[in-house]
Structure 1
């Protein structure tokens, strides 16, 4: 089976028609991002086959928010040399039309023919589900279900068994299965399907484990009792020694002595902090006094510097004042040049406007001449067109009636030939002087007559010869011919003609006239696409515009030889503008510089006056002398504080205050620990005494011996059931392996196809299937040993690969059985690594030599080396 064309309309996101043609017989790769429409195309194919056209449970096919739509799917495909076309619409326009080489099957008949061809069923009620999909459900993989194979194979099981010839069903109903079922039943009473104990075997194991646990618990309690006796003696000895030593009291006394020494050291540290603060204040005062003395010395130098700045600012201001006249003159010249350039540009713009209007007028004159010719031609064509339409109306004749007349005439000719062949022929060869009468008409000489009805030949002097044409065909042909003759006369009257030739002649004239009308309409549309009135209005508007331009051009001056062009006038104005802006900027900068210079001069004068007044103050020398004396006193105090701090710091370091703090903490914690240990020891001693008293009354030794005897009995019971379970499990395995060997012989064609594909992925590997044709165990070589992995225990990616290989093998099997195949993969193998994906591409390419494959993916980069050109789904939508 080869799909040739797919068209979907008003279906989910395809509101407008989307059509895919020229599908390849091998792999067809469709790519696009998520939500681009790939799954919608797959849903369209599934709906075309699986959903009944009368179903009301397919609302998911409608475009979102459009409940009035009628989802429609069209499919063209080939099968065994026949062309099939399926057109199916849902919901608002429910219909199904299937055409097979010209034969049409509509409605339920078409759907049943499709289901019998591909091997699936329709849902009795509601939307189609997986259990109805049969073989297409196995070969068409939905997104995210590539690893699932058991259910699809189960639903397609009957069709697959039919391809194998039905032997599988006979084998599974043999007496061998009864034995296997009996052994399996006996085994299931002791073991689960995965080999775990159950029933009496599991109970025996539980009993053994329970008794073993009880015995272990009793024995542990006996050991604990003995340990507690030993621990009690040890605790009593330790308690006696602790009461004699009372170490916690000694530790607390030592901690108090260490705290006293630490308090004395902390008092020294406070004195040290106080003297350190006094030293820092003294150093700050010294620096302040030095700053004051340095300020007195720097004021004289600052006064001289301020004098120099004042003179410099006076010279700068004088220089700026001298530059003012030149700047003002340059600005006036720039303003004058700019005004002249502006006037020149205005004149050039007027000249340019006059030239543009002149060019526009010339264009309008040319258009007027062209449109005038077009209007004349259009009016001529319009007249001819009206005349031809009147002729067409008078020659109007129905082509379908002419065609029917032709068919009737042809059928009459055929019946005449047939009538001539079956009619009774009467041939007369009479002498010149003899004659006879046929149905009242005289017959002489040689002649031939055809009789389709009974006739009488009267022979004078002899009598009457009656001729009865034989057979019912003659009468039927006569009746048919008469009916057709009546219909022919009715058709000729309806067409108002006397013969078929006349009708065909009128029809030919009508067609020629129609072609002439179409040609004239096309020419008229070219000459006046908007109509004669619109063309005439356009002529009037252009004439009015021409007159308006003439009036406007008279209002503008004419250009002389000395006039500048618009570009040169714009360039001159731009230069004048730049010169004006430069002159204005220079004038503004000079004004700003002069203002800044004036401010700087005033500031320099004020600073000089302030410093000069401070230097001339009467108490300045007295304040300087007081500062010098204060500096001497502060330096003496600084030396005294430094000596005291050094001596006390040595005394603190020798006392080691950090070590004293650690001693206090260590001794207090030691006292607390010793006291807590004694309390804990006392509590433990009381608890052990209570436990020993309680354990002595339980009789633990007697309980241990009794449980030991019960445990031996439970072990014997468990071993007996264990031997039986292993024997049944071995027998069940051997029987199933034997039946699997028989099954493998019956399934050899399927196994051959499976192994063919599997070798491309895992050399020397094989995939076993069960009696229901479902993949069961993957056997391959790994690390020098044979590995057997159950299908459901494989990784997600490996299950997806094995399931796809199985589907391809089923397709090969169906193809050999003469059944149609089509493989659809929606985002398959997305969980495969690069190496496995490369091998699976080889598998797909090999399968494409025998089957058509539609592959949809949102990962186009993964399939570039598939050997086919990808089709972008978004591009298909236009």
Structure 2
């Protein structure tokens, strides 16, 4: 089959006719970017063959937005020496015409002719689907579906098998099928298709397994019973050992390690205190050295101060000589300015009268608004003064409360430490006996915590004196008293009796602060610069009002001016500029003179101060004192350094980290031993109960009875197993014979596959199953072979092998005298450069026997295909 011509019109993006003529018998390459119409042409060919011309469910063929169009396709191709011409129109003007060597067919008859020729079928209703496409669906690869071979090969299976049998020249015999079916039915009574037992065989096998499990369970119970008897003896022996409470020894060692660790922690605290004292000593030394260096610098500074004084005196003398000419220039400028100003004043009197009248109106309006805001502001200010007075009485702010709470927590921490470090006195006296502990008489049983030394009087025996805890108890007592005094001082300063009362006062203070903040915000809106400023504005407005009234009374009635205002302003501006220049000169002179006077005064003052300092009788005494203090500080530095070194050695020898580990290790050991003893005690009681119950159940008798029944079930299972194995063997032999016949049918297809496969994977084999679908790829890997199922291969490999399989199908169909046309829409896009080069060799080889239409948006990948490419844009502009 060779396609010569394709013409489409009103088909998707091709509203205008597009025609392809003179297609070659080998590869025909069409290139263009995405959306250029390649897939539209492929869809047109598919519609021409697969879609019934009467179908109304193919409106996707119309150009977008044009529901009145009639998509049409025309095809011309040669087959067996005759020219076939197909013309098909859809939707609006439905029609199908087929001409074969001068013979005309139309409608459904024409469609059936095409289906019979190419090997496909039409859908009974609606649009055509993949299961109807047969051979064309296998050979025409849609965009992105090249890797899927299973579905298309399944739908074309009957046509392919027909071609195979025609190649063999015979039809495969069905002799033996009934025998295989009979064996399968007999085997199905005992086994499922997957080889699992079923029916009576499954039931007997289940009983056999149940009896086996029950026997195993009884054996396990008997073994467990015997083991538990042995375990009971072990537990009774361990119980005797636990009676001595061996864990108490480790508890004592843990307490000793903890006591030593507390002692080391005191050393660490002392080390930290001495380190801080050493830093302070070093800082004091640096301060002394800086003061001594300052004394040395003062003598050098005195000579510099004398030079500065002489320089300042010369500058002052020069400045005083410049005063007369500067003052003369200023007097002349003032005379000119006053004359110009008087002239302008007379010119503006008439304008000023009207302006004053307008300003008085505005002043009256502003004064009314200011008085209203001033009254509101004074009311708010009175409220704020009351709130601030309350806030002043409440001294408990957040910082004070935090200090108070922190002090209270510190006192609680010291109490806890005292409780932990206190000596515990436990006593148990006989009836009617008592002892005297300080001022307290003790009798009966009880316990006391001793935080300070106490005398215990024993009647008729004497006195015992107990000194609790050593230095740490005394230190804790002193620290507690200091913290308690600090707490009392804070409460007194804040004028509260407790922390809770302070918290209440702090909350009241916060509420007052919020109210003050809100009042200040409102007052800020009414008087942004304050009430005084608002009152000042009121007073200024009133003064201005009075001044304007007085000024307007003093102004003469409107009349003609002797000179215009613009001229007077121009003269005044010129005279003012002269006056400003003169004033700037005199101001600069006064500024420079003031600076000179100030410089002279400062230089004299600095010289006198430094001279007095150097000659001060106290200076020598202070310098000696600083030297003596520096020596003392160096001696203290040496003492602190020595003490730190000795204590560091003592701490390192004690090794606090190891002491912590010892405490944890001994405590954990004691807890573990005690917990294990309790666990063994519980296990002993439970084990005794379980053994009593098991001893009464008769395990040995149950096992003997069950073993007898299991023997019978075993014989029945073996009998059914032999029959099932025999049927399976017979079925395997019959199936092997049938598979040999199948392989003979597959041989032609396998030959074509091997022809292409050697170009892609040398020394590889692609096997097909009974449905002629690629199944497994076997490749050489050194001295071994790799076996890969087709479905587990990469996407690119499946796409390549899918095309190889389709080309092999095409060769098979051609040998059987069936028409072939191969269409590839953007195929092999997932192939690497090496594999793509191999696939181009395969395509070029197949093109010697088949016509191939290849559409791609990657023309650079197909330049070496040996054919000229047709650009899609050239088709659109050809007509």
Partner of 1:248 in structure 2? Answer: 247
- The answer as to whether partners of 2:271 and 2:647 remain within 8 angstroms in 1 is no
Tell me what 2:121 maps to: 121
Indicate conservation of the 8 Å contact 1:120/1:134, yes or no. yes
Confirm whether residue 637 of structure 1 aligns to residue 629 of structure 2. Answer: no
CA shift in 2, pair 1:222/1:54, >3 Å? same
Change in Cα spacing, 1:827 to 1:706, as seen in structure 2 (3 Å) is farther
**Alpha-carbon spacing, 1:150–1:297, altered in 2? closer, same or farther (3 Å):** same
Structure 1 gap segments, 5+ residues each: 315-598
Residues 289 and 627 of structure 1 are in contact (CA less than 8 Å); yes or no, is this contact kept in structure 2? no
> Partners in 2 of 1:198 and 1:126 — Cα distance?
45
Match of 1:91 in 2: 91
Give 1:266's aligned residue: 265
Query: Partner residue of 2:609?
Result: 617
The residue number in structure 2 matching 1:695 is 694
- Deviation, structure 1 residue 212: 3.2
| Equivalence map 1:601-612=2 (5 Å) | none
Aligned to 2:211: 211
- Which stretch has the larger CA shift, 122-131 or 166-175? 166-175
SS of the aligned residue for 1:684 comes to: helix
How much has 1:809 moved relative to structure 2?
2.9
What's the offset of the Cα at 1:127? 0.5
* 1:283 alignment counterpart: 282
Q: SS of the counterpart of 1:617?
A: helix
- How much has 1:139 moved relative to structure 2? 1.7
Instruction: Note the alpha carbon deviations across 1:520-573, whole angstroms, 9 max, x for none.
Output: xxxxxxxxxxxxxxxxxxxxxxxxxxxxxxxxxxxxxxxxxxxxxxxxxxxxxx
- Counterpart in 2 of 1:738? 737
* Contact 1:88 1:97 (C-alpha < 8 Å) held by counterparts: yes
Q: Secondary structure at the match of 2:28?
A: strand
Select between 223-232 and 93-102 the one with higher mean Cα deviation.
Answer: 93-102
Please say if residues 754 and 805 of structure 1, whose CA atoms lie closer than 8 Å, have aligned partners that are also in contact. Answer: yes
Distance 1:57 1:250, change over 3 A: same
In structure 1, the partner of 2:45 is 45
- Determine the structure 1 residue equivalent to 2:177: 177
What SS class does the counterpart of residue 824 from structure 1 fall into?
strand
SS in 2 for 1:756: helix
With over 3 angstroms needed to count, the CA separation of the structure-2 counterparts of 1:849 and 1:638, relative to structure 1, is: same
**Which aligned pairs between 1:722-761 and structure 2 lie closer than 5 A?**
722-745=721-744, 749-761=748-760
1:746, distance to aligned residue in structure 2 (A): 5.5
Q: State whether residues 272 and 645 of structure 1, in contact with CA within 8 Å, keep that contact through their aligned partners in structure 2.
A: no
Q: 1:250 to 1:37 in 2, by over 3 A?
A: farther
Q: Report how far residue 163 of structure 1 moved.
A: 3.8
Deviation at 1:848, TM superposition (A): 1.4
Distance in 1, Cα, partners of 2:623 & 2:873:
93
The count of aligned residue pairs is: 590
Partner of 2:226: 226
Q: Distance in 2 between matches of 1:274 and 1:143?
A: 84
CA distance in structure 1 between the aligned counterparts of 2:738 and 2:180, rounded to whole angstroms:
9
For residues 650 and 137 of structure 2, what CA distance do their matches in structure 1 show? Answer: 95
Contact 1:2 1:852 in 2 (8 A): yes
SS in 2 for 1:825: strand
Partner deviation per Cα, 1:351-402 (whole Å, 9 max, x = no partner)? xxxxxxxxxxxxxxxxxxxxxxxxxxxxxxxxxxxxxxxxxxxxxxxxxxxx
Deviation of 1:237 after TM superposition, in Å, equals 1.4
Deviation at 1:650, TM superposition (A): 1.6
Taking the aligned partners of 1:783 and 1:93, their CA distance within structure 2 comes to: 65
Q: Superposed, which structure 2 residues align to 1:564-575 within 5 Å?
A: none
Is 1:813 the counterpart of 2:812 in the alignment? yes
1:303–1:611 contact (8 Å) kept in structure 2: no
Specify which of 650, 654, 671 is matched with residue 654 of structure 1. Answer: 650
Name 2:57's counterpart in structure 1: 57
Relative to structure 1, is the Cα distance of residues 724 and 296 closer, same or farther in structure 2, using a 3 angstrom cutoff? Answer: farther
Please tell me whether residue 77 in structure 1 is matched to residue 77 in structure 2: yes
| Aligned-partner SS, 1:647 | helix
Which sits farther off after the overlay, 148-157 or 41-50? 148-157
Task: Give the distance between the partners of 2:596 and 2:28, measured in 1 at CA.
Answer: 92
Q: Deviations over 1:453-510 (max 9, x none)?
A: xxxxxxxxxxxxxxxxxxxxxxxxxxxxxxxxxxxxxxxxxxxxxxxxxxxxxxxxxx
* Aligned ranges 1:110-149 → 2 under 5 Å: 110-149=110-149
Residue in 2 that maps onto 1:403: none
- Report the TM-score, using the length of structure 2 for normalisation: 0.57
Residue 264 of structure 1: CA displacement? 3.3
How far has the Cα of 1:817 moved from its partner?
3.3
- Aligned partner of 2:235 in structure 1 is 235
Corresponding residue SS for 1:819: coil
Q: How far apart, CA to CA, are the structure 1 residues paired with 2:4 and 2:303? A: 105
Please say which of residues 760-769 and 655-664 is displaced more in the overlay: 760-769
CA separation of 1:643 and 1:36: change in aligned 2, threshold 3 A: farther
Q: Which residue of 2 aligns with 1:434?
A: none
CA distance in 2, matches of 1:46, 1:55: 14
Is contact 1:33-1:858 (8 Å) kept? yes
Q: Take 1:74 and 1:693, find their aligned partners in 2: how far apart are those partners?
A: 97
Question: Structure 1 residues 751 and 279, CA, compared in 2 at 3 Å: closer, same or farther?
Answer: closer
Counterpart residue number, 1:845: 844
Q: Secondary structure at the match of 1:122?
A: coil
Q: CA deviation at 1:643?
A: 0.8
Give the superposition deviation at 1:604: 13
Structure 2 partner of 1:361: none
TM-score by structure 1 length? 0.57
Instruction: Give the direction of change, closer, same or farther, for the CA distance of 1:815–1:196 in structure 2 (3 Å limit).
Output: same
1:302 and 1:199 mapped to 2: Cα distance?
125
Change (3 A) 1:280 1:767: closer
The corresponding residue for 1:592 is none
Question: What is the CA distance between 1:282 and its match in structure 2?
Answer: 2.9
What whole-Å deviation, never above 9, does each CA across 1:701-738 have from its counterpart, x for those lacking one? 33434444444444444444443333333322332332
Distance 1:783 1:661, change over 3 A: closer
Q: For 1:697-716, list aligned pairs within 5 A.
A: 697-716=696-715
Counterpart CA distance in 2 for 1:699 and 1:862 is 85
SS in 2 for 1:56: coil
C-alpha distance in 2 between matches for 1:605 and 1:705: 132
C-alpha separation in 2, matches of 1:236 and 1:711 = 40
* Separation of aligned partners in 2, 1:605 and 1:731: 134
Mapped partners of 2:600, 2:728: distance in 1: 119
CA apart distance, 1:152 = 3.3
CA-to-aligned-CA distance 1:379-435 (integer Å, 9 cap, x gap): xxxxxxxxxxxxxxxxxxxxxxxxxxxxxxxxxxxxxxxxxxxxxxxxxxxxxxxxx
Check whether the contact 1:15–1:63 (CA below 8 A) recurs between aligned residues.
yes
- Residue 75 of structure 1 aligns to a residue whose secondary structure is strand
Q: Secondary structure at the match of 1:127?
A: coil
Q: CA offsets per residue over residues 105-151 of structure 1, 9 Å max, x none?
A: 55444433332332222222100012221221222233454454454
Aligned residue in 2 for 1:534: none
8 Å contact kept, 1:268–1:648: no
For residue 850 of structure 1, report the CA deviation from its aligned partner.
0.6
Deviates more, 1:162-171 or 1:741-750: 162-171
CA RMSD, Structure 1 to Structure 2 (Å): 4.6
Written as runs of structure 1 = structure 2, the 5 A alignment for 1:310-329 is none
Aligned twin of 1:825? 824
| Separation in structure 1 between the aligned mates of residue 72 and residue 24 of structure 2, nearest angstrom | 23
